[in-house]
């Protein structure tokens, strides 16, 4: 990468860390450190919520998915606006108004200590591991693109994040998120501008080509439990997923607990309700634009440079043969694409389009052979889709903009990791250390422990990220385990709003809910994970109400919002 691009990345990293440490002023109490003394404006919290959800995987993986699969991924978010409105009148007032530091703390007030501890433990287990994978995903890509050891790219992302999160607490996290969100959007819009300016055909022709290859198919109205990306999976399953994530996951709950008032907390979530789908569509359209651009500028056969190097070394002759076929097929497809653009509404338009689609199929076949060869030679899944956008950025964007995009990818990773580390430390200290180990200590003591917990979780996440390749199957197991309880925890919070529900019923419901999701996962593995959340939540509520009378707790009904 050009030194100017590196300079942009370094300036960004220094700025985030220094500004984050400056934000440590006023964080000498645990209320300041964990929930910013409930002092943040709705737009700060709203941007922090969006930045937390938008990770580096969105910047490199989802854009790549736009290039290979088009816009249909956006259906996953169709339930988000409804979920945000529901949360605005249910859990947000409940949690913000009850003066808790964590969502799980509220469960002890409503139910009992065992329900609180189990949900908090499940959160730590799942988020602790996922934090590592959030660093690993961009770490692996940056490592391959720049040819640096994985440990360095993990350190590049992880160390500054741990520093400002540890020193500045939630205020540093939220204000860094604001800057990072702006940087991410600017980086994405820059690519759109470059694509429009450099595209060899008009926007209308570019859309014709994208549409002909199915890249502009957003809506799929079929009702199929096995397919994640359908309208109904998004609206129904997506609503439950978003209710679980934004309503019960401490990494998000802690964002809106920092808002000045309940109304500002609601407004912060509504920002996502309004903007998430347009933003996600923009991310995917960037990928679609890159796909069209590559109809006229020949991209590498394998986008992952590390894999390409290994394949060249170990199967050079076969790969050379594929490269020659690819060069010929590319020229033919480029000619066909230009004919599509030139034909417009002429009678020859249909024939031109059919020729183009046949040439595109040839290219996909050759690429498929190259990917299979790469997987065979390297012994690992290709995941080539994650390298499409980084390769495009580094080879096609002007100097400066490429650095801006790489800084944007790192910003997207940091904004998610910082919120996770912050919430992991909060849950560790509030739900376990203060609850079970040292209930009566000074704020100074808890602050020191919180900073230590942030450093420990950060170190753990970096270790998991560095060994992500060898820990692959373990991470998969933990992620799969995570999907067992996400909807079930939502069920416990739904029970918390029902006056009839009691602690023991909620606890039994949680266990049976997780077991039910596990049974569905193994018994009917083809069912999309989006439906697991629906199943978990419904079973917990049903069982919890069935055992509603159980439990010695004389807990009052859920407090009024």
Partner 1 sequence: MTEPPAHESPRAVFRRTLARVLAVQIVSLALLGLLQIVYG
List residues binding partner 1 (CB under 8 A).
Answer: 42, 71, 74, 78, 81-82, 84-85, 88-89, 207-208, 210-212, 214, 216-219, 263-264, 266-267, 270, 273-274, 277-278, 281, 561
Which is nearer to partner 1, 89 or 313 (by Cβ)? Answer: 89
Nearest approach in angstroms of CB 500 to partner 1 is 20
Nearest approach in angstroms of CB 211 to partner 1 is 3
Nearest approach in angstroms of CB 329 to partner 1 is 24
CA distance 18 to 15: 5
DSSP per residue over 315-352, as a string?
Answer: SHHHHHHHHHHHHHHHHHHHHHHHHHHHHTTSTTHHHH
DSSP-derived 3-state class of residue 259: strand
Nearest approach in angstroms of CB 292 to partner 1 is 11
The DSSP call for residue 75 is G
Which is nearer to partner 1, 61 or 81 (by Cβ)? Answer: 81
Which is nearer to partner 1, 277 or 357 (by Cβ)? Answer: 277
Positive or negative CA dihedral for 163, 120, 527, 129?
A: positive
Which is nearer to partner 1, 192 or 477 (by Cβ)? Answer: 192
What Cα–Cα distance (Å) separates residue 460 from each residue in 60, 319, 424, 432, 481?
A: 24, 40, 11, 18, 19
Half-sphere exposure of 532 (CA within 13 A, CB side): 26
Which is nearer to partner 1, 218 or 318 (by Cβ)? Answer: 218
CA distance 131 to 151: 16
Which is nearer to partner 1, 119 or 252 (by Cβ)? Answer: 252
- Which value, in Å, is the radius of gyration of the alpha carbons in the chain? 25
Nearest approach in angstroms of CB 89 to partner 1 is 5
- The residues pairing with 259 across neighbouring beta strands, listed in sequence order, are 40
DSSP-derived 3-state class of residue 298: coil
Tokens at residue 158, please?
A: 């992880």
CA distance 522 to 483: 12
Answer whether 293's CB lies under 8 Å from 199's CB: yes
Nearest approach in angstroms of CB 493 to partner 1 is 18
Residue 509's H or E segment, with its range, is helix 503-523
- The residues pairing with 40 across neighbouring beta strands, listed in sequence order, are 259
Nearest approach in angstroms of CB 75 to partner 1 is 10
Only one residue has tokens 């980084």, namely: 390
Which is nearer to partner 1, 45 or 404 (by Cβ)? Answer: 45
Answer whether 181's CB lies under 8 Å from 54's CB: yes
Which is nearer to partner 1, 455 or 561 (by Cβ)? Answer: 561
Tokens at residue 298, please?
A: 């020949």
Length of the chain: 561
Which is nearer to partner 1, 61 or 234 (by Cβ)? Answer: 234
Nearest approach in angstroms of CB 266 to partner 1 is 8
Which is nearer to partner 1, 276 or 391 (by Cβ)? Answer: 276
Could you give the angle at which helices 238-248 and 472-496 cross, rounded to 10 degrees?
80
Which is nearer to partner 1, 317 or 345 (by Cβ)? Answer: 345
Nearest approach in angstroms of CB 456 to partner 1 is 38
What Cα–Cα distance (Å) separates residue 38 from each residue in 87, 102, 421?
A: 19, 13, 19
CA distance 324 to 40: 59
CA distance 401 to 515: 49
Answer whether 410's CB lies under 8 Å from 154's CB: no
Which is nearer to partner 1, 217 or 331 (by Cβ)? Answer: 217
Nearest approach in angstroms of CB 281 to partner 1 is 6
Nearest approach in angstroms of CB 196 to partner 1 is 16
The DSSP call for residue 429 is I
Nearest approach in angstroms of CB 31 to partner 1 is 25
Nearest approach in angstroms of CB 201 to partner 1 is 13
Which is nearer to partner 1, 87 or 322 (by Cβ)? Answer: 87
CA distance 351 to 406: 41
Half-sphere exposure of 419 (CA within 13 A, CB side): 33
């Amino acid at each position: 990468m050009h030194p100017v691009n590196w300079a942009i990345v370094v300036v960004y990293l220094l700025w985030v860390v220094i500004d984050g440490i400056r934000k440590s002023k006023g964080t000498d109490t645990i209320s300041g450190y964990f929930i910013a003394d409930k002092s943040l404006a709705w737009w700060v919290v709203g941007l922090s919520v969006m930045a937390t959800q938008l990770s580096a995987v969105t910047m490199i993986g989802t854009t790549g998915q736009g290039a290979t699969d088009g816009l249909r991924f956006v259906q996953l978010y169709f339930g988000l606006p409804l979920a945000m409105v529901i949360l605005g009148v249910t859990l947000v007032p409940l949690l913000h108004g009850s003066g808790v530091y964590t969502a799980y703390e509220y469960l002890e007030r409503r139910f009992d200590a065992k329900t609180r501890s189990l949900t908090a433990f499940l959160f730590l287990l799942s988020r602790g591991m996922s934090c590592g994978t959030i660093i690993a995903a961009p770490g692996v890509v940056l490592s391959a693109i720049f040819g640096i050891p994985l440990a360095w790219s993990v350190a590049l992302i992880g160390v500054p994040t741990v520093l400002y999160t540890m020193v500045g607490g939630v205020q540093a996290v939220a204000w860094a998120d604001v800057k990072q969100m702006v940087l991410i959007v600017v980086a994405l819009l820059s690519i759109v501008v470059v694509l429009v300016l450099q595209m060899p055909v008009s926007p209308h022709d570019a859309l014709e080509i994208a549409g002909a290859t199915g890249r502009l198919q957003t809506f799929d109205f079929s009702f199929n439990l096995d397919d994640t990306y359908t309208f109904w999976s998004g609206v129904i399953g997506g609503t439950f997923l978003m209710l679980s994530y934004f309503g019960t996951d401490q990494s998000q709950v802690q964002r809106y607990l920092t808002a000045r008032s309940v109304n500002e907390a609601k407004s912060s979530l509504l920002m996502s309700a309004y903007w998430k789908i347009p933003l996600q569509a923009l991310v995917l359209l960037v990928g679609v634009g890159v796909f069209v651009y590559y109809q006229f500028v020949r991209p590498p056969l394998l986008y992952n440079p590390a894999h390409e190097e290994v394949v060249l070394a170990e199967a050079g002759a076969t790969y050379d043969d594929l490269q020659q076929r690819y060069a010929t097929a590319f020229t033919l497809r480029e000619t066909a694409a230009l004919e599509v653009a030139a034909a417009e509404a002429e009678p020859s338009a249909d024939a031109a389009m059919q020729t183009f689609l046949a040439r595109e199929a040839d290219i996909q076949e050759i690429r498929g052979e190259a990917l299979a060869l790469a997987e065979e030679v390297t012994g690992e899944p290709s995941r080539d889709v994650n390298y499409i956008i980084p390769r495009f950025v580094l080879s096609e964007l002007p100097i400066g903009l490429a650095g801006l995009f790489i800084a944007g990818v790192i910003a997207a990773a940091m904004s998610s990791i910082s919120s996770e580390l912050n919430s992991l430390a909060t849950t560790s200290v509030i739900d376990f250390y203060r609850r079970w180990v040292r209930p009566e200590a000074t704020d100074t003591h808890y602050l020191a422990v919180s900073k230590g917990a942030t450093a420990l979780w950060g170190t753990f996440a970096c270790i998991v990220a560095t060994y992500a390749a060898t820990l692959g199957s373990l991470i998969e197991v933990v992620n799969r385990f995570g999907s067992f309880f996400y909807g079930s925890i939502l069920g416990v919070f739904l029970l918390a709003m029902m006056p009839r529900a009691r602690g023991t019923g909620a606890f039994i419901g949680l266990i049976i809910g997780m077991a039910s999701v596990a049974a569905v996962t193994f018994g009917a593995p083809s069912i999309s994970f989006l439906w697991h959340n629906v199943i978990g939540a419904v079973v917990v509520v049903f069982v919890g109400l069935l055992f509603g009378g159980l439990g010695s707790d004389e807990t009052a009904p859920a407090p009024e919002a």
